[in-house]
Amino acid sequence: MSLTIEVLGSVAEVSATEWDALCRSDYPFLRHSFLLGLEQADCTTPAAGWTPAHLRLKDGQRTLAILPSWLKSHSYGEYVFDWAWADAWRRMGLEYYPKLVTAVPFTPATGPRLLHADDLDPAVIWATLKQHMPELAMSLGASSWHVLFPQEKDADALAAAGLHTRHQVQFHWYNRGYSDFNDFLSTFSSRKRKSLRKERRRIEEQGLSLSMRNGTELSEEDWSVFHRFYQMTYAKRSGHGGYLTREFFLDVAANMGEQVLMALAEKDGSPVAGALYFCDGETLYGRYWGCSREYDCLHFETCYYQGIDYCIRHGLKRFDPGAQGEHKIQRGFEPTTTLSCHWVAQAELDDAVGSFTREEQVHVEGYRKDAMGLLPFKETPDNETLT
């Protein structure tokens, strides 16, 4: 085998046919159209702090694998918080940025991170990448390599190759064969069940109606309205208009067909709020939300209950509503461990990161177990099987 590793400056350097042939699932966020769309909508460009640096492994003219990656000049839009690491580098007179990040931009959703041919063992590919990473990092001027939200099997392979594993907790919903939303609620304690039903009743009492539509049913006006909602949310939280441009919503998300969904809330026939979801054959991913006016319980209905309803109706196994949010626990979202993997070129700092991740894991696992005790479910032997 004559192995070479190329650094691609754009997804466009690979055809959609070749790229998508290496995808191992219908996970929506690694498709050629999605990642190229982010570039073309000016979301992942050097000016935005996301310089494409996708790694392509080749044997002669044959592409063996592609690792979608970016050189980052900051840590925004990643959801694995390493500001303290950057500060430690600075205090030592070192540059933390740029760093090489393997992830889905602006998307803290666990999933595949490596595209590869059918006949290749991904563990071997990860080990090969790690073996070549010192020279790659040097050529790219990168301080480190970070693989964010990989699947557990990939995290295990990266750990075996010498990367440090970092643990976080998100709150996910799991479908245990519920026939409808009321069947799901029947697993709650009486008090928690009444509280959630009260929240859902508030929607009707305020004269609000909701509908869940897929990409084939949404108009350009729907997308324009949702982009305004999205911008208003970021303006309230962060004082800026968000990471994603209007072009992304109109040209990328709008063309993902049935893999994109929007829960739209209306009052008197006019949209007042919306939540954007993506999906594959097993999982619903809640991504963005916004509103033009605050209504009681509307966020919970639009972002959570509509998603749970959809999963039950369509037999999806899991609902990943995004990062953070302890308020999800009392609504039946279970504490779930998510992973990231890290390697640092400077050996002494790599050891320090390893010590940090091992110590942090103890605290994160303690937090996860404590959060499990806050779930709203009835006390039954079946609760012992919860994730």
Domain presence at residue 331: no
**How far apart are alpha carbons 111 and 107 in whole angstroms?**
10
Count other Cβ atoms within 10 Å, centred on residue 339.
21
> What's the pLDDT score for residue 201?
97
What average pLDDT score do residues 144-158 get? 98
What average pLDDT score do residues 188-207 get? 97
Domain presence at residue 328: no
Give residue-wise pLDDT tens across range 361-381.
999 999 999 999 999 999 865
Whether residue 192 sits in one domain with residue 159:
no
Residues 146, 99: contact at Cβ < 8 Å?
yes
Assess whether pLDDT exceeds 60 at residue 335.
yes
Whether residue 291 sits in one domain with residue 145:
no
**How far apart are alpha carbons 88 and 83 in whole angstroms?**
9
Domain presence at residue 387: no
Q: What burial letters (b/e) apply to 4-43, b meaning 16+ CB within 10 Å?
A: ebebbeebeebeeeebeebeeeebbbbbbbbbbbbbbbeb
Number of domains within the chain: 2
> What's the pLDDT score for residue 281?
97
Assess whether pLDDT exceeds 50 at residue 79.
yes
> What's the pLDDT score for residue 271?
96
**Beta-bridge partners for 263:** 212, 275
What average pLDDT score do residues 209-238 get? 92
Assess whether pLDDT exceeds 50 at residue 174.
yes
Give residue-wise pLDDT tens across range 240-296.
888 999 999 998 898 899 999 999 999 999 999 999 999 999 999 999 999 999 999
Whether residue 254 sits in one domain with residue 197:
yes
Domain presence at residue 329: no
> What's the pLDDT score for residue 2?
72
Domain presence at residue 246: yes
Residues 71, 53: contact at Cβ < 8 Å?
yes
How long a stretch of residues is the chain?
387
* C-alpha 182: how far from chain center: 28
Whether residue 92 sits in one domain with residue 24:
yes
Whether residue 185 sits in one domain with residue 144:
no
Instruction: Name the band, by pLDDT with cuts 50, 70 and 90, for residue 339.
Output: very high
Domain presence at residue 295: yes
Whether residue 101 sits in one domain with residue 25:
yes
CATH number at residue 233: 3.40.630.30
Give residue-wise pLDDT tens across range 340-358.
999 999 999 999 999 999 9
Domain enclosing residue 286, as ranges: 176-316
Domain presence at residue 379: no
**How far apart are alpha carbons 116 and 125 in whole angstroms?**
9
> What's the pLDDT score for residue 386?
47
Whether residue 244 sits in one domain with residue 150:
no
Take residue 255 and report the two structure tokens written for it.
Answer: 């063309």
Whether residue 157 sits in one domain with residue 187:
no
Whether residue 357 sits in one domain with residue 242:
no
Whether residue 352 sits in one domain with residue 305:
no
Domain presence at residue 326: no
Residues 115, 30: contact at Cβ < 8 Å?
yes
Whether residue 10 sits in one domain with residue 70:
yes
Q: What burial letters (b/e) apply to 64-100, b meaning 16+ CB within 10 Å?
A: bbbbbbbbbeebebbbbebeebbebbeeeeeebbbbb
Whether residue 59 sits in one domain with residue 142:
yes
